[in-house]
Structure 1
Amino acid sequence: MTTAASTPISGVMFQRPIPILRMFDVAKAREFYCDFLGFTVTMEHRFEPGLPLYMAVERGGLEFHLSEHHGDASPGSTTFVWTIGIAAYHAELTSKKYRYGRPGIDHLPWGEQLEVHDPFGNRIRFCEKRG
């Protein structure tokens, strides 16, 4: 039990999660996550040249890890992200005229949701809570 969101009573506290998403093509991952969604690459790692890439991208406090490693994640995963400013993000994405997707906003009982699909079958649901 906690008395506040950041004050653990049991001595255990969880911090923000970092979803790991499977990727198969670094150039396509950069095009989608950086050029389209507006994230910045913050880390890249290969155990040696020619081996799979493990890469981190970040924007506005949200971080994703993208991995070419077979055992790290399954393609076709869905990540749900509570978001503030969904209308502005939608306008930004729409203005880019990304040729592989033009997401809309769905008006759902829990909020306004914008869903994007990356080139590897993963879905990200950005959602702003209803007021």
Structure 2
Amino acid sequence: MTAQGIIPIFRIFDEKKAKEFYLNYLGFKLDWEHRFEPDLPLYFQISMHDIQIHLSEHYGDCSPGAAIRIEMKGLEPFHRKLLAKQYNYSRPGLEETPWHARECCVIDPFSNRIVFYENLDE
């Protein structure tokens, strides 16, 4: 057996706000969407490079307020790109940590936290 990866699931409550934040602001792309019927909750996958995240309106899939960390290269240009978008609900900082990483933390409209980080020792 070989583990192949992990895909976190974040709880969302509003499709429009989720897409504005994840697709327009952060720059993820929409991979696919699924609803069992037109009036039922949405479940969809977004991705950026090799990172995939599932977003779900389904009650019980997960709790709002979760957190993930995404390692990346080129964090400073990504941070500048976010600030240049002048998104009304987020102006993330960039900080260096005692564990030799540079981090940029964003919180989505549903209180889920994503920490984009770059190891400084590499």
TM-score of the alignment, normalized to the shorter chain, above 0.5: yes
Q: Could you list the per-position Cα deviations for residues 64-111 of structure 1 after superposition, in whole angstroms to 9, with x for gaps in the alignment?
A: 100000111100001111111110110110110010011011110230
Unaligned runs of 5+ in 2: none
Cα root mean square deviation, aligned? 0.8
The residue aligned with 1:19 is 8
- 1:30 is aligned to 2:19: yes
- 1:121 is aligned to 2:104: no
Which residue of 19, 25, 28 maps to 1:39?
Answer: 28
Larger-Rg structure: 1
TM-score when normalising by structure 2: 0.95
Query: Which AA in structure 2 matches 1:130?
Result: L
Secondary structure, aligned partner of 1:90:
helix
Secondary structure, aligned partner of 1:116:
strand
Distance 1:128 1:48 in 2: 41
Aligned residues: 120
What aligned pairs does 1:53-92 form with structure 2 within 5 A after superposition? 53-92=42-81
Secondary structure, aligned partner of 2:80:
helix
Secondary structure, aligned partner of 1:100:
coil
Distance 1:95 1:105 in 2: 14
Unaligned runs of 5+ in 1: 1-11
Query: Which AA in structure 1 matches 2:9?
Result: I
4+ residue segments displaced more than 4 Å: none
% identical equivalent positions: 46
TM-score when normalising by structure 1: 0.89
